[in-house]
Structure 1
């Protein structure tokens, strides 16, 4: 009997529930993270995502090219780091979240001979550090909640129109990016002429139209549900669907690369294979001071307004249900620069214009920017800084066309102002931003106008003001 009692529990020995229960939280968390990353990076449409990846190059290439030619920015290092940024942001957000140059810092670097690589990196590190602190403390989210929509739309409209006006200059005038100025009218004919730019613009309008509504309507048409007598009437449907699904931006970019080699075949001899050497940038006290005064101070308002606040609002407009907090965007921008700028990578941020441009050309998932990031990584590791020789021959008019449609798409986001009062505030903010070339000044004027209108309406609605006007005690 004792022997039987000792053997009785043995059938339960193979079971091991405590170990499974102990491992399940970690395994479950890991599985959720992996599933989310896979979902965020999946392509909605291969051609559309590839096309969308080209939507931000009209901004990226000219600024990077100017910094490389003027300030000897390490293009290879910049491509590697920005490529990593693209992949990470695509995996985190699941939308075509762009990685753009910090424009105010770039403008100072190109125009000021004394503002070199150490000053550029100091400005990027300080700007990123401040944004990181604003994010982790929750102050950025508070700022986002306090700024009215009409002011945000004013900043977006100003930035979109600024992109569009710059694009028209690229198309009409020859550009010297090393001096950041035009050098004369662009000829009508040639491999970088007006005719080429106009043909590219017409091609994009034919393929993409004014927006995505027409393409999505074509894509959603049922297949095989038409009656036989209706089929002859829709004989051109397949051709229209094929035309509307063409990756217009990608085709134009490939055309530009081909023309770059045709314009100057000698660039092949200047290509050197292998990555650029990555070194820690030495920043002196003088460089920290100059970087903060000339770079961080003008860049910080633009980063807060356009890289965080405007991107939050635009992402919620373009991707309903995928609202991103100002805290997360501020933290990611901060980390990108606090890490990358120490190694000579260009100061980077998110941008509403880049998001609008990539959406315009079909970007819908994080896979769009991850694909762009992978391409940057390959180019940075294989060609390094020698890639600048090719970019310097890229037709500027073609870049202008890409930038034009990105700017228009961003400006269109401001069409949802429902009242004349909101439109008034938006246009005041836009006008001051454009004329003063300062998003910060436009923001201040827009906020002041908004508060004055609220004060006026508050006074108008008070009974005591009416009594006082009629002289009743």
Structure 2
């Protein structure tokens, strides 16, 4: 058997060959797909930068670096996106940079412990597939709702300006529908370029970015900043990161890209932890991987790690050469175009629920006399209904309380309710075996005599 380091190098060489081959075959699709997650990244990153809760230049440099390394080591279009729960609290409470990165340190530290102790692998084994699918569908529908309420609903037919209104949203939506049957058309790339042109028109030429070399500065949180960030935002991010950014991502990658080995939950967890435990000291935005971003980049054409490597290079160049001067231009990016991109990404993620009762990984089993080959297990009517109920109970809890943890608990309780008879029977068998082990010789002989 090859040593671990040699096996890792071999795997990276195979992934690199696939990245190069895919980029040569479909360059426009890879470039377009790399921009698929902008609808999530731009609004939160801009709001945090304007709020002075992160360093924009450092965020671009480090997130770009993580994009490149992710594409190299995982070989799939795995996004590097904001930790949404932390971002929401940081924006609402006007966190300082020290408080924001402290929240990221807290989440990253817990995920790191989960990864090295094997708890993430254990979670993957014990959490039923309908609950994981529910987290994915709920996250997708959350993106759809967010697109409508935060980005599209405030728009009028001609307001807030000529470059950002409902007419532009309708145009972007019609273009999205038109390109459904034209997968080679780089929709996200074209919309991104159009958005930049409109943004220049809105903000004016005097707000164009200027040359500004990146000068990193360390940020060491005080005890007060650390506790405020950890208690108010970091702890609440943990279930979202563990469920949606680690476990759900591993499931989704095998569903969308079965030809590429899916990254394990331990490697994804370590990746999330290290990104924040390194970049946070310089004021970088707390980031994670996410199933929504993976679905978005896949939806707009990405099929390999080459897409996010290209995105990472672009982000690093922007951060190194322009940095904070980009804020004004990005602030004027049309919400109409971002909203439609987020809508499409959310629908793509929600679609994974379709495979719950056909094609889900827990329905494959080794066939008899098949030399290890697997076949799809047929699901009966009662089991099919149980699985749908558990999934939608998870979705309902997540959407009702806007919290992945609540959705997870709702789905698990529903699953355990359906399994209560089996659990009770297992407990009864365990108790009988335990009881027999404690019997005296006379009691055991008496029991055998009665039999």
Same fold (TM over 0.5): yes
Q: CA deviation at 1:81?
A: 0.2
Match status 1:201 vs 2:173: yes
Find the structure with the greater CA-based Rg.
1
Residue in 1 that maps onto 2:416: 451
Match status 1:54 vs 2:15: no
TM-score scaled to structure 2, two decimals?
A: 0.83
User: Using the alignment, how far apart are the partners of 1:73 and 1:31 within structure 2?
Assistant: 35
Which of 13, 17, 27 is residue 35 of structure 1 equivalent to? 13
Match status 1:372 vs 2:311: yes
Which of 274, 278, 288 is residue 335 of structure 1 equivalent to? 274
User: Using the alignment, how far apart are the partners of 2:102 and 2:172 within structure 1?
Assistant: 39
User: Using the alignment, how far apart are the partners of 1:371 and 1:131 within structure 2?
Assistant: 28
Q: CA deviation at 1:460?
A: 10
1:64 partner SS? helix
1:191 partner SS? coil
Q: CA deviation at 1:25?
A: 9.4
Match status 1:387 vs 2:326: yes
2:419 partner SS? helix
Contact 2:280 2:286 in 1 (8 A): yes
Match status 1:279 vs 2:250: no
Residue in 1 that maps onto 2:398: 433
Contact 2:104 2:280 in 1 (8 A): yes
Which of 138, 142, 167 is residue 158 of structure 1 equivalent to? 138
Per-residue displacement from partner, 1:272-297 (whole Å, max 9, x unpaired)?
A: 21233211102000111112111111
Match status 1:135 vs 2:115: yes
User: Using the alignment, how far apart are the partners of 1:25 and 1:334 within structure 2?
Assistant: 25
- Paired positions, count: 396
Task: Report which structure shows greater RCO (CA 8 Å, sep ≥6).
Answer: 1
RMSD (Å) for aligned C-alpha atoms:
2.5
User: Using the alignment, how far apart are the partners of 1:133 and 1:31 within structure 2?
Assistant: 26
Which of 281, 287, 300 is residue 238 of structure 2 equivalent to? 300
Contact 1:208 1:361 in 2 (8 A): no
Contact 1:125 1:342 in 2 (8 A): no
User: Using the alignment, how far apart are the partners of 2:229 and 2:3 within structure 1?
Assistant: 46
5+ residue gaps in structure 1?
1-23, 175-183, 210-242, 465-473
Per-residue displacement from partner, 1:371-400 (whole Å, max 9, x unpaired)?
A: 110110111112111111110111011000
Match status 1:75 vs 2:56: yes
Contact 2:18 2:304 in 1 (8 A): yes
Contact 1:172 1:186 in 2 (8 A): no
Contact 2:12 2:72 in 1 (8 A): no
5+ residue gaps in structure 2?
358-383, 430-451
Residue in 1 that maps onto 2:338: 399
Q: 1:39 to 1:395 in 2, by over 3 A?
A: same
Q: 1:339 to 1:296 in 2, by over 3 A?
A: same
Residue in 1 that maps onto 2:365: none
Q: 1:453 to 1:30 in 2, by over 3 A?
A: closer
Q: 1:319 to 1:166 in 2, by over 3 A?
A: same
Residue in 1 that maps onto 2:436: none
Q: CA deviation at 1:455?
A: 1.2
Q: CA deviation at 1:137?
A: 1.7
Contact 2:299 2:348 in 1 (8 A): yes
1:407 partner SS? helix
User: Using the alignment, how far apart are the partners of 2:90 and 2:151 within structure 1?
Assistant: 24
User: Using the alignment, how far apart are the partners of 1:429 and 1:456 within structure 2?
Assistant: 21
1:73 partner SS? coil
